[in-house]
Amino acid sequence: MGGFFPLDFTNFPSNASESLLALSCDLDPRLISMFSQEEYGLDYFRDQGFHRKKCECCGKFFWTRNEARKTCGDPPCDPYTFIGNPVFSKEHGLDEMREHYLSFFEGRGHTRIPRYPVVARWRDDIYLTIASIADFQPFVTSGLVPPPANPLTISQPCIRLDDLDSVGRSGRHLTTFEMMAHHVFNTRQKEIYWKDSTVQLCDELLMGLGMDPMAVTYKESPWAGGGNAGPSVEVMIGGLELATLVFMDLKATPTGTIEIKGERYSKMDNYIVDTGYGLERFVWASKGSPTIYDAIFPDLVRKVADLSDVEHDLSNSEYAEIFAQNARLAGMVDVDAYSMKELRTMIAARLGISYEKLEEAIAPMERVYAVVDHTRCLAYMLGDGIIPSNIKAGYLARLVIRRTLRIMKELGLKPSLEGLVREQISRLDYPDWQERMETISVILAQEEEKYAETLDKGMRLVRKTAQSYGKKGQAFPLTEIISLYDTHGIPPEMSKDAAEEAGVKVELPDNFYSLVAKTHIKAQKEEEAAPQVILEGKTELSFYDHPFDESFKAEVRDIIGNSVILDKTLFYPEGGGQPADHGILEKGGLTFKVVDVQRIGDVVLHAMDGDGAKAFQKGDHVAGHIDMRRRLAHARHHTATHLVHDSAKRVLGKHIWQAGAQKTETRARLDISHYKRITDYELRAIEMEANRRVMDMIPVNTKFMPRTEAEKVFGFELYQGGVPPGKQIRVVKVGSDIEACAGTHVTNTGMIGTIKILRTERVQDGVERLEFAAGEAAVRAVQEREGLLIESSDILRVPMDRLPKTANRFFEEWKGQQKEIERLKEDLAKTQAKSLVSEAVAIDDLKVIAKRMGVADIDELIKVASLLAEMDYVALLGSESGKLVAAVGKTGLEKGIKAGNVIKAASKLLGGGGGGKPELAQGGGPKSEMLEEALKAGVDVIRTGL
Ligand SMILES: [Zn+2]
Ligand SMILES: [Zn+2]
Rounded to whole angstroms, what are the CA distances from 15 to 74, 239, 919, 925? 9, 12, 73, 78
Q: Is the peptide bond before 148 cis (omega within 30 degrees of 0)?
A: no
Instruction: Give residue 543 CA to ligand 2 midpoint distance, Å.
Output: 15
Q: Of the bound ligands, which one is closest to the alpha carbon of residue 738?
A: 2
* Ligand nearest the Cα atom of residue 56: 1
CA–centroid distance, 307 to ligand 1, in Å, is 43
- What is the whole-number distance in angstroms between the Cα of residue 59 and the centre of ligand 1? 6
Distance 770 CA to ligand 2 centre (A): 15
For the chain, give the percent of residues with pLDDT over 70.
95
Nearest-angstrom CA–CA distance, 778 and 424: 47
Residue 55 Cα to ligand 1 middle (Å) = 5
CA 241–ligand 1 middle distance (angstroms): 13
Distance 732 CA to ligand 2 centre (A): 7
Whether 318 and 350 have beta carbons less than 8 Å apart is answered as no
Question: What are the phi and psi torsion angles at 925 (to 5°)?
Answer: -170, 175
Alpha-carbon distance values, 301 to 89, 310, 403, 730 (Å)? 24, 10, 18, 48
- Bigger pLDDT: 290 vs 26: 290
Q: Any idea which ligand is nearest the CA of 720?
A: 2
Cα-to-centroid distance, 267 and ligand 2 (Å): 39
- Percent helix / strand / coil, the chain, rounded to 5: 45, 20, 35
What was the pLDDT predicted at 343?
A: 82
The rounded distance, in Å, linking the Cα atoms of 890 and 874 is: 9
Q: Looking at this protein, which amino acid is placed at residue 256?
A: G
Please report which ligand is nearest the Cα atom of 737: 2
What's the rounded mean pLDDT across residues 916-929? 92
Counting ligands in written order, the one closest to the CA of 739 is 2
Pairwise CA distance, residues 569 & 602, whole Å:
12
Q: How far is the CA of 54 from the centre of ligand 1 (A)?
A: 8
Give the model's pLDDT for residue 516: 82
What distance in angstroms lies between residue 211's CA and the mean position of ligand 2's atoms?
A: 54
Query: Residue 731: nearest ligand to its CA?
Result: 2
Cβ(642)–Cβ(732) below 8 Å? yes
Per-residue pLDDT at 478 exceeds 80: yes
HEC string of 529-590 equals CCCCCCCCCCCEECCCCCCCCCEEEEEEEEEECCEEEECEECCCCCECCECCCCEEEEECCE
Using DSSP's 3-state secondary structure scheme, residue 54 falls into: strand
Please, which pLDDT band fits residue 530 given cuts at 50, 70 and 90? very low
The pairing of beta strand 258-260 with beta strand 540-541: unpaired
Count other C-beta atoms under 10 Å from residue 920's C-beta: 18
CA 56 / ligand 1 centre spacing (Å): 7
392 — pLDDT class (breaks 50, 70, 90): confident
Separation CA 267–CA 270 (nearest Å): 9
Determine the distance separating the centroid of ligand 2 and the alpha carbon of 440, expressed in angstroms.
28
pTM above 0.95, yes or no: no
Q: Which of the residue ranges 105-109, 139-143, 606-610 would you say has the lowest mean pLDDT?
A: 139-143
- The CB density around residue 391, as the number of other CB atoms within 10 Å, is 16
Mean predicted confidence (pLDDT) in 317-329: 89
- Ligand (nearest to CA of 79): 1
The CA 391 to ligand 1 mean position distance, Å, reads 42
Task: Please name which ligand lies nearest the alpha carbon of 54.
Answer: 1
Ligand 2: centre distance to CA 739 (Å):
7
Q: With 60 as the cut, is the pLDDT of residue 420 above it?
A: yes
**For residue range 438-474, what is the model confidence (pLDDT) as tens digits?**
899 999 999 999 888 888 888 888 888 888 888 888 8
Are the CB atoms for 411 and 310 separated by under 8 Å?
A: yes
Cα 58 to averaged position of ligand 1 atoms, centre (Å)? 4
What b/e string do you get for 872-909 counting C-beta neighbours within 10 Å, with b at 16 or more? ebbbbbbbeebbbbbbbbeebbeeebbbbbbbbbbbbb
pLDDT the model gives residue 527 = 47
> What's the 3-state SS for 199-243?
HHHHHHHHHHCCCCCCCCEEEECCEEECCEEECEEEEEECCEEEE
For range 38-59, the mean pLDDT:
92
Tell me the C-alpha distance between 644 and 670, whole Å.
Answer: 8
Give the number of the ligand closest to the Cα of residue 69: 1
Compute the distance from residue 576 Cα to the ligand 2 centre, in Å. Answer: 7
Ligand 1 centroid from CA 219, angstroms: 8
Average pLDDT, integer, range 480-503: 82
Kindly give the distance from the C-alpha atom of residue 637 to the centroid of ligand 2, in angstroms, as a whole number: 10
Question: What's the full length of the chain, in residues?
Answer: 946
* Cα 278 from chain centre: 27
Better-predicted residue by pLDDT, 138 or 240: 240
Which ligand is nearest to the Cα of residue 239, counting in written order? 1
Q: Which ligand has the minimum distance to the alpha carbon of residue 76?
A: 1
Q: CA 646 to CA 657: how far, in whole Å? A: 10
What pLDDT was estimated at residue 434? 83
**pLDDT value for 529:** 45
Ligand 2 centroid – CA 641 distance (Å) = 7
d(CA 664, CA 669) in angstroms, rounded, equals 9
Confidence check: pLDDT of 286 > 90:
yes
Give the DSSP letter of residue 337: G
Q: Return the pLDDT at 102.
A: 98
Mean pLDDT value of segment 330-342? 78
Residue 569 to residues 421, 553, 555, 601, 636: CA-CA distances in angstroms?
54, 8, 10, 15, 21
What is the average pLDDT score of the chain?
A: 89
Q: Which long-range contacts (CB under 8 A, 24 or more apart) does 520-525 make?
A: 520/127, 520/395, 520/396, 520/399, 521/126, 521/127, 521/128, 521/161, 521/162, 521/396, 522/125, 522/126, 523/123, 523/124, 523/125, 523/126, 523/127, 523/392, 525/124, 525/125
Mean per-residue pLDDT, 682-698: 97
User: Measured in angstroms, how far is the CA atom of residue 133 from the centroid of ligand 2?
Assistant: 29
CB count, 10 Å around CB of 434?
13
- pLDDT value at 36 more than 80: no
> Of the ligands numbered here, which is closest to the C-alpha atom of 74?
1
Alpha-carbon gap, residue 898 to 917, rounded angstroms: 7
Residues with CB in 5 Å of ion ligand 1: 55, 57-58, 72, 77
The answer to whether 770 and 668 have CB atoms below 8 angstroms apart is no
Mean pLDDT of 131-153: 91
Residue type for position 405: L
Contact 480, 468 (CB under 8 A): no
* Predicted local confidence at residue 26, as pLDDT: 46
Q: Nearest ligand to the C-alpha of residue 742? A: 2
Q: Which is nearest to 866 in space by CA: 881, 883, 888?
A: 888
3-state DSSP assignment of residue 93: coil
Centre of ligand 2 to C-alpha 687, Å, is: 18
Q: In this structure, are residues 165 and 510 in contact, taking their beta carbons and an 8 Å threshold? A: yes
Distance between Cα 215 and ligand 1 center (Å)? 15
> Residue 79 Cα, ligand 1 centroid: separation in angstroms?
11
The pLDDT, as a whole number, for residue 14 is 42
Mean pLDDT score, 866-891: 93
Cα 60 to averaged position of ligand 1 atoms, centre (Å)? 6
CA of 519 to the centre of ligand 2 (A): 31
What is the residue-wise DSSP string for 900-923? HHHHHHHHHHTT-EEEE-SSEEEE
Q: Are 186 and 273 in contact (CB under 8 A)?
A: yes
Using the predicted structure, report yes or no on whether residue 559 has a pLDDT greater than 80. Answer: yes
Q: How far does residue 10's CA lie from ligand 1's centre (Å)?
A: 10
For residue 40, how far is its CA from the centre of ligand 1 (angstroms)? 17
pLDDT digits (tens, 9 = 90+) for 641-688: 999 999 999 999 988 999 899 999 999 999 999 999 999 999 999 999
Q: Do the bridges between strand 846-852 and strand 874-878 make them parallel or antiparallel, or are there none, so unpaired? A: parallel
Q: How far apart are CA 909 and CA 907, in angstroms?
A: 5
| Ligand 1 center from residue 73 Cα (angstroms) | 6
Average pLDDT (626-639) is 95
**Which residues is 851 bridged to in the sheet?**
877
How far apart are alpha carbons 426 and 299 in whole angstroms?
Answer: 14
Query: Which residue spans within 396-456 are E strands per DSSP?
Result: none
**Which ligand sits closest to the CA of 220?**
1
Contact 490, 462 (CB under 8 A): yes
